[in-house]
Structure 1
């Protein structure tokens, strides 16, 4: 009898006849456990099982911020971070320039003129009368600024300094390093004497005044100004003796 009732209830449930009132009666039958009823329910309503599965995989209460971002979103985020990474070297360069601008003038000169040779006393250089006058004038300008096209009294370019130095000895020179190379007697490097003009680079684009002992005085560049250096500081091109 119990089996007949159980079979009848199962058939009614499968056919939609058992509702909320029928379920307790069915559960009271010892032959039908609760999990058996659940299995029947899932067979009758397969969509409910799929819905429960989706809820377990991704609960509807989870916030959008907690969900993993797509590849496109990550790429966009990386692109937004990229300019910040690129700005770092520019920021460091700006900081270095600001620090340099705060240095005192003497400190900036020391930094930009590293490698200079200390200027000798003009009276200690053995030179002839006219060459001595040129050397004395040139050494007195050490520390002056370099300005292209200038020839004193407080700024010089390379040929402007040598032109004005030899002018003190009554010798006229053109205001051009290349032209000055043709304004005197050529001499070899081994025969250099104080007061000789020394030329550099090919084609010639720089001139200095030889001091002896392997030293020259010249208007070097805008960063260094007029200074004393080694005769071998730049690519040697030749020398002449004015007058």
Structure 2
């Protein structure tokens, strides 16, 4: 496994940054792991968490204080669950971004650290497929559905972004999650901007008419949208 530049990542606010430097003569390799256990689900507040597991010697982290009263211990925070006394979950003390997971059970695992996949920079995330770090089963499932995905006609109004991850989208499109449709928009009136996002799921066996369930903008209650003040 080779890479021309270090993998980089960090938290949402930018106070935490980390670098993964893969040695040229590395005999070990990074691995992407997916975890749906109850402990991971609660800690990440997500039904499925994804990690990049690397040797600790490849990993370096730095904190940046934005104000004089900020220090390292306040920026880089750790939590040990009563149910996981031999593990630490690290996160940003300001924006709350989950960053890493470290455990010394079994003892050999203490030499590795797992970084949250979502905390990696977008460009480095897109390079992970070339590094060969994905579980074989996930790639085989995606490859088996590749022809069907490429022939599929894009759904009108579906949400797309230039920051997409082709390897992840391929795996999702080949699963039940691929039936999710997203659309979003916004409208500005004076000092306030209203943003909305609609997520729909349909079964192949059903023809679900979702248009009747959508509410007009004027019918949306105050708690249903986010308002941002503008200058």
TM-score using structure 2 length:
0.21
TM-score using structure 1 length:
0.20
Tell me which protein shows more helix as a share of its residues.
1
